[in-house]
């Protein structure tokens, strides 16, 4: 008879199973938002990457959505970095400064 309250502690497929979910760590940094233009690994297509935002995942996705709407272009969030298609560095800089972020243009 199978007990519904039983906890799986070991499986031959994946080994030891931890009962606790890993907690998300808070992002760390110096508080300066860096905006850089990148083309490497993107087949020549330029994107703007925005890093250094000390926000959780939900707030980061919300900010990315607002930026995409403001710039009128696409983008995504990957590994805590917002990627916006096109070359709108000055527009993004002014948008983030209105939101009270300390912004620095980095790279070429």
Q: Are 91 and 97 in contact (CB under 8 A)?
A: no
CA 104 to chain centre: 18
- Architecture in CATH for domain 24-106: 2-Layer Sandwich (3.30)
Q: What is the pLDDT of residue 36?
A: 92
One digit per residue, the tens of pLDDT, for the chain of length 108 reads 555 566 655 556 665 666 665 555 555 667 789 999 988 877 778 899 999 888 888 999 999 999 999 989 999 998 889 999 988 889 999 999 998 889 998 876
Q: What is the pLDDT of residue 79?
A: 87
What is the three-state SS of the chain?
Answer: CCCCCCCCCEECCCEECCCCCCCCCCCCCCCEEEEEEECCCCCCCCEEEEECCCCCHHHHHHHHHHHHHHHCCCEEEECCEEEEECCCHHHHHHHHHHCCCEEEEECC
Rounded Cα distance, 79 and 73, in Å: 20
């Amino acid at each position: 008879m199978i007990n519904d309250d039983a906890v799986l502690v070991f499986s031959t497929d994946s080994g030891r199973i931890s009962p606790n979910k890993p907690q998300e760590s808070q992002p760390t940094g110096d508080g300066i938002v860096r905006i850089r233009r990148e083309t490497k690994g993107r087949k020549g297509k330029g994107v703007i990457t925005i890093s250094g935002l000390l926000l959780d995942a939900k707030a980061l996705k919300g900010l990315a959505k607002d930026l995409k709407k403001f710039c009128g272009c696409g983008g995504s969030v990957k590994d805590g970095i917002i990627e916006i298609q096109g070359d709108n560095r000055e527009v993004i800089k002014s948008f983030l400064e209105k939101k009270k972020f300390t912004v620095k243009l980095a790279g070429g």
